[in-house]
C-alpha cells in the first residue's frame, strides 16, 4: 500500500522539473541581456561645415547668433556684435583670443558657463538657439555636458537654449 | 521464561503505530518540499516576467561595455526612439551592430576617407548608411510611414569631437537629417 503512494507523490512533482530547468536557464540569459540603465536622447542639428557667418551678414541680422566654442583653455563666446557683453572677448577669431570662461582646477567651469548663459537668456528671452563647436580633441562627454547646461533645467521657465546646432571645429 | 500471551500482538501493534507515524512524518516532509518548489516557481515566474519586459521594452537595444561607455546626461524626458543606430566605440564604428570601420587611436585611418587625413567623409560608413537608407526608403514606399532620416549616435564618452563631426557629416551625405545623441541617464550635476 505504501509503495504505490510514494510513486504517486513522486509523479506529482516531476512535471515541474523541466519547467524549473528552463526557467533557471532563461533567468541568467535574460539577466545578461537586460539593461538596467535608462538611455536618453539629446536632439542635435547637423554640423554647419561653413565656419562661421560673414561679419556683414551678422551685423545686418538682429538675432543673437550665440556660438560657444569649447577649447582646451575653456569656453569662448561669440554673439552678434550688437549684442556683445563687456565680458566677451573683442577678438574676431577664437585662436587669438583668450577664453571668456577659463578652465578652473584643470576642468571646464560649467557653473560659470551656466551663469553666463542665464545672463544672456535674461537679455534675450525668446532666443532658443545655440551653436556649439569644439576643438578636434575635445571628448564627447564634455560636449554632452555643455549641451545639458545649454539646455538648462527641465522646467519650461528654466530652459535656456535647448536648440543645439553643432559646428565643425573652432570658428 | 515464557512470554505472556498477547505480548507479541501488542509489540506488533506498537511497531505498526511507529511505522505509521514515520510514514506520516515522511509524507509531511515530502509535502513541505513540494511547497518550497511551488513558491520558488512563483518567484522565478515573476523574475522572468520582469526580465522579459525590460528586455523588450526599448525600441533599440544598447549595451554598454568597456569599449562603449556612454556619457551621463541630465536629460530625463526624451527616451530612445526607433532609428538607425550609429555606434562609435573605442575600436570601431558600427551601423546597426555591423562593424563598418576600425579606429586607431580614436581616429579613422586616412585611407578610409574620401579626402585623406583632413577629410570628413568616411567611405565605408557612407556606403553602409546609403544601403540602409535605400532599404528604409523601400519600406517607406510600401508602408504609410515616411522616411524620416533619423539616426541615433551612440558614442563612447571619450570619442573626440573631430570623429563625431566626421560621422555626422558622413551621415548627412547619406540623407540623414535628424540626429539624436544617446547618453545614459543620471548625470552627477544638477542644472536649475
Partner residue opposite A140 with nearest CB, options B23, B155, B179: B155
Q: What residues of A are in contact with residue B18 (Cβ under 8 Å)?
A: none
The whole domain housing B51 covers 1-57
Say if A51 is an interface residue toward chain B (CB within 8 Å): no
Q: Note the pLDDT of residue B4.
A: 55
pLDDT digits (tens, 9 = 90+) for A111-135: 999 999 999 999 988 899 999 999 9
By DSSP bridging, strand A39-48 and strand A101-102 are: unpaired
Q: Count Cβ neighbours within 10 Å for each residue of A103-130 and write b for 16 or more, e otherwise.
A: eeeeebbbeebbebbeebbeeeeebbbb
Residue B150 in domain = yes
Q: Is residue B66 part of a domain?
A: no
A14-70 per-position pLDDT tens digit: 677 788 888 888 888 888 777 677 888 898 887 665 544 544 455 557 788 899 999
Are B107 and B161 members of one domain?
yes
Classify residue A55: in a domain, yes or no: yes
Q: Provide Rg for chain A, Cα atoms.
A: 28
For residue A4, the model assigns a pLDDT of: 53
DSSP symbol at B2: P
Angle of CA points A74, A80, A82, to nearest 5°:
120
Asked whether residue A39 is domain-assigned, the answer is no
Task: Assess A152–B contact: CB distance below 8 Å, yes or no.
Answer: yes
Both A60 and A138 in a single domain? yes
- pLDDT tens profile B65-103: 889 999 999 887 787 788 899 999 999 999 998 999 999
Q: Which of B40, B73, B172 shows the shortest C-beta gap to A42?
A: B73
Q: What is the CATH number for B159?
A: 3.30.420
Assigned C-alpha cell, A8: 504517486
Judged against a pLDDT cut of 80, whether residue B13 lies above it is answered with yes
Please name the member of A23, A30, A141 whose beta carbon is closest to the beta carbon of B157: A141
Give the separation between CA A155 and CA B192, rounded to whole angstroms.
Answer: 9
Q: First CA to last CA across chain A, in angstroms? A: 94
Give a yes or no: residue A40 inside a domain.
Answer: no
| A138 conformational bin, left if phi > 0, alpha if psi -120 to 50, beta if neither | beta
Q: Are residues B83 and B117 in the same domain?
A: yes
pLDDT, one tens digit per residue, over A35-46 is: 677 888 898 887
Q: What's the gap in Å between the CA of A59 and the closest CA on chain B?
A: 28
Q: How many domains does chain B divide into?
A: 2
Q: Which residues pair with A152 in a beta bridge?
A: A159
In the three-class reduction of DSSP (H, G, I as helix; E, B as strand; rest coil), residue A73 is classed as coil
- pLDDT score for B30: 61
Closest CA to B81 of B135, B132, B153: B153
> pLDDT digit string (tens) for B108-159?
998 888 888 888 899 999 999 999 999 999 988 888 778 888 999 999 999 9
Dihedral, B56, B58, B63, B64 alpha carbons, nearest 10:
-140
Cβ-contact A42, A144 below 8 angstroms:
yes
Q: What is the distance between the alpha carbons of residues B179 and B133, in angstroms, rounded to a whole number?
A: 14
Instruction: Residue B170: list chain A partners with CB under 8 A.
Output: none
Q: Using CB atoms, which residue from A12, A41, A135 is nearest to B180?
A: A41
- Same domain? A69 vs A136: yes
Instruction: Assess whether B94 and B172 both reside in one domain.
Output: yes
Instruction: Please indicate, yes or no, whether residues B121 and B85 belong to a single structural domain of this protein.
Output: yes
Instruction: Give the ipTM of the model, two decimals please.
Output: 0.76
Residue B154 lies in a domain: yes
Angle of CA points B182, B186, B192, to nearest 5°: 105
A69 and A147, same domain (yes or no): yes
| Chain A contact probe: residue of B43, B74, B176 with most A CBs at under 10 A | B74
Residue entry with cell 565643425: A168
- A-contacting residues of B 71-90, CB under 8 Å? 71-81
Q: Do A23 and B41 touch (CB under 8 A)?
A: yes
CB atoms within 10 A of CB B34: 13
Same structural domain, B81 and B176: yes
The residues in A 76-95 lying below 8 A from B, measured between CB atoms, are none
| CA-angle at A15, arms to A10 and A16, nearest 5° | 100
- A38 assigned to some structural domain: no
Q: In which domain, by residue range, is A55 found?
A: 45-167
Q: Is A33 on the interface with B (CB under 8 A)?
A: yes
Which positions ≥6 away from A110 have C-beta within 8 Å? Answer: A145, A146, A149, B189
Quick check: B33 pLDDT over 70?
no
Residues A50 and A117 in one domain: yes
Looking at beta carbons, which pairs linking A55-61 to residues 24 or more positions away fall under 8 Å? Answer: A55/A81, A55/A92
Question: What is the spatial distance between Cα B55 and Cα B16, in angstroms, rounded to a whole number?
Answer: 58
Interface of B with A in 27-66 (CB under 8 A): 27, 30, 33-34, 37-38, 40-41, 44-45, 47-48, 51-52, 54-55, 58, 61-64
- CB neighbour list of residue B143: distance below 8 Å, 6 or more residues apart: none
- Mean pLDDT, all residues of chain B: 85
Query: What pLDDT does residue A57 have?
Result: 52
Q: For residue B9, what pLDDT band results from cuts at 50, 70 and 90?
A: confident
A108 and A84 in a common domain? yes
Amino acid at each position: 500500500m505504501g509503495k504505490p503512494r510514494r510513486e504517486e507523490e513522486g509523479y506529482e512533482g516531476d512535471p515541474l522539473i523541466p519547467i524549473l530547468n528552463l526557467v533557471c536557464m532563461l533567468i541568467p540569459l535574460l539577466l545578461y541581456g537586460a539593461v538596467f540603465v535608462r538611455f536618453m536622447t539629446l536632439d542635435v542639428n547637423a554640423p554647419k561645415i561653413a565656419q562661421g557667418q560673414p561679419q556683414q551678414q551678422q551685423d545686418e541680422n538682429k538675432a543673437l547668433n550665440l556660438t560657444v566654442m569649447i577649447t582646451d583653455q575653456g569656453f569662448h563666446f561669440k554673439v552678434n556684435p550688437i549684442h556683445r557683453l563687456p565680458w566677451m572677448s573683442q577678438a574676431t577669431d577664437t585662436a587669438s583670443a583668450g577664453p571668456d570662461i577659463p578652465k578652473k582646477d584643470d576642468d571646464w567651469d560649467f557653473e560659470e558657463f551656466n551663469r553666463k548663459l542665464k545672463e544672456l537668456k535674461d537679455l534675450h528671452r525668446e532666443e532658443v538657439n545655440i551653436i556649439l563647436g569644439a576643438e578636434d580633441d575635445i571628448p564627447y562627454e564634455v560636449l554632452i555636458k555643455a549641451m545639458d547646461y545649454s539646455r538648462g533645467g527641465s522646467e519650461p521657465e528654466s530652459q535656456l537654449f535647448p536648440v543645439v546646432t553643432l559646428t565643425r571645429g573652432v570658428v | 521464561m515464557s512470554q505472556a500471551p498477547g505480548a507479541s500482538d501488542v509489540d506488533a501493534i506498537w511497531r505498526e503505530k511507529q511505522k505509521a507515524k514515520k510514514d506520516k512524518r515522511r509524507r509531511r516532509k515530502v509535502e513541505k518540499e513540494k511547497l518550497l518548489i511551488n513558491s520558488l516557481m512563483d518567484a522565478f515566474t515573476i523574475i522572468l516576467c520582469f526580465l522579459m519586459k525590460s528586455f523588450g521594452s526599448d525600441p533599440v537595444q544598447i549595451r554598454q561595455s568597456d569599449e562603449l561607455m556612454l556619457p551621463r546626461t541630465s536629460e530625463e524626458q526624451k527616451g530612445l526612439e526607433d532609428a538607425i543606430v550609429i555606434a562609435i566605440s573605442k575600436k570601431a564604428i558600427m551601423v546597426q551592430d555591423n562593424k563598418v570601420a576600425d579606429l586607431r587611436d580614436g581616429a579613422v585611418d586616412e585611407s578610409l576617407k574620401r579626402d585623406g587625413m583632413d577629410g570628413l567623409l568616411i567611405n565605408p560608413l557612407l556606403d553602409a548608411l546609403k544601403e540602409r537608407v535605400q532599404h528604409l526608403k523601400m519600406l517607406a514606399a510600401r508602408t504609410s510611414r515616411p522616411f524620416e532620416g533619423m539616426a541615433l549616435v551612440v558614442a563612447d564618452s571619450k570619442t573626440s569631437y573631430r570623429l563625431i563631426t566626421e560621422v555626422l557629416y558622413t551621415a548627412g551625405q547619406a540623407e540623414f537629417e535628424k540626429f539624436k545623441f544617446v547618453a545614459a541617464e543620471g548625470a552627477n550635476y544638477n542644472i536649475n
